[in-house]
């Protein structure tokens, strides 16, 4: 019996699809093994490209696609390719927003746990910068998410921890300007002023922001601290102690 031509074409196409998927899988597995045994920027880039290629070829596979895209971002971040890492994060959010949000939230918790070494008291700068970059990327892509401003707040703390004060100021501005209803938006303004004052010694700019804070948030929990810092702006420790003692005597 002669095989119908349409059936032959269908079976040939089906076999080609299976072989292609198998090759992709083997390629990723091989690259993962090579990366584990002999990590290099070249292998990391190849592996990241393979992850992204799978996600793009299989847009309905949300779980695996999201997992691969986040793994791709890890590969890029490992080689300090932050722009490409951010681009892949954005791709994950665009393709699978729900799965990506859950995965990113888990990723951020993991990074926060791993960036600090309790035994040495040191911070892993690579993981800290990855945390900051992901937070900024997510907040830019998902401005309506309740998670976005909180992630930025944590990123601001992280930036100050690694003494990247310029980045901290950028993040405080993002929180205060883009998420004014966030409960910690006033705190972001205070922290910007305090960073300018304490860490960057830019007293004039700090004064303006302290005054703005008191004008906008006179009943905020940080108002008393702000008033104290404003009154003692530019004074050394000894002068501050003398001023404090004098106030106690007067009261």
C-alpha 156/C-alpha 168 separation (Å) is 5
0.95 surpassed by pTM = no
* Segment holding 36, helix H or strand E: helix 5-37
Helix (H) or strand (E) holding 122: strand 122-123
CA dist 197 and 194 (Å) reads: 5
Q: How far apart are CA 89 and CA 71, in angstroms?
A: 10
Does the pLDDT value for residue 217 go beyond 60? yes
**Which pLDDT score, from 0 to 100, does residue 242 have?**
67
Residues with Cβ < 8 Å from 182, sequence gap 6 or more?
149, 150, 153, 175, 188
| pLDDT category of residue 16 using cuts at 50, 70 and 90 | very low
- The yes-or-no verdict on residue 212 having pLDDT over 70 is yes
Tokens encoding 175: 């929180």
**Domain residue ranges of the chain, discontinuous segments joined by +:** 43-182, 185-234
Structure tokens at 28: 């990723």
pLDDT by residue (tens digit) across 54-94?
A: 999 999 999 999 999 999 999 999 888 999 999 999 999 99
Is 114 or 21 the better-scoring residue by pLDDT? 114
The Cα angle at residue 32 between residues 31 and 38, in degrees rounded to 5 = 80
23 alpha carbon, distance to own chain's centre: 34
Residue 206 contacts residue 233 (beta carbons within 8 Å): yes
CATH of 43-182, one of 3.30.1460, 1.25.40, 2.60.40, 2.40.160: 1.25.40
pLDDT band, very low/low/confident/very high, at 38 (cuts 50, 70, 90): confident
- The H-assigned helical ranges of 142-233 are 147-161, 165-178, 185-194, 203-216, 223-231
């Amino acid at each position: 019996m002669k095989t119908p031509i349409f059936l032959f074409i269908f079976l040939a196409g089906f076999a080609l699809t299976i072989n292609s998927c198998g090759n992709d899988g083997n390629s990723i597995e091989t690259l993962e093994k090579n990366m584990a045994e002999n990590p290099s920027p070249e292998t990391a880039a190849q592996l990241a490209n393979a992850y992204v290629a799978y996600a793009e070829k299989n847009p309905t596979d949300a779980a695996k696609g999201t997992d691969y895209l986040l793994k791709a971002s890890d590969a890029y971040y490992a080689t300090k390719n932050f722009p490409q890492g951010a681009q892949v994060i954005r791709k994950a959010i665009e393709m699978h927003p729900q799965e990506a949000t859950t995965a990113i939230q888990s990723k951020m918790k993991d990074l926060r746990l791993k960036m600090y070494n309790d035994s040495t008291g040191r911070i892993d700068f690579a993981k800290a910068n990855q945390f900051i970059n992901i937070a900024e990327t997510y907040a830019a892509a998902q401005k309506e998410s309740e998670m976005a401003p909180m992630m930025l707040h944590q990123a601001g703390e992280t930036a100050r921890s690694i003494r990247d004060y310029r980045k901290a100021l950028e993040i405080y501005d993002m929180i205060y300007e883009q998420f004014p209803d966030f409960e910690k938006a006033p705190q972001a303004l205070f922290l910007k002023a305090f960073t300018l004052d304490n860490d960057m010694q830019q007293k004039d700019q700090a004064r303006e922001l302290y005054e703005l804070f008191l004008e906008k948030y006179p009943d905020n929990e940080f108002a008393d601290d702000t008033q104290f810092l404003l009154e003692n702006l530019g004074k050394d420790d000894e002068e501050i102690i003398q001023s404090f003692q004098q106030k106690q005597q007067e009261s």
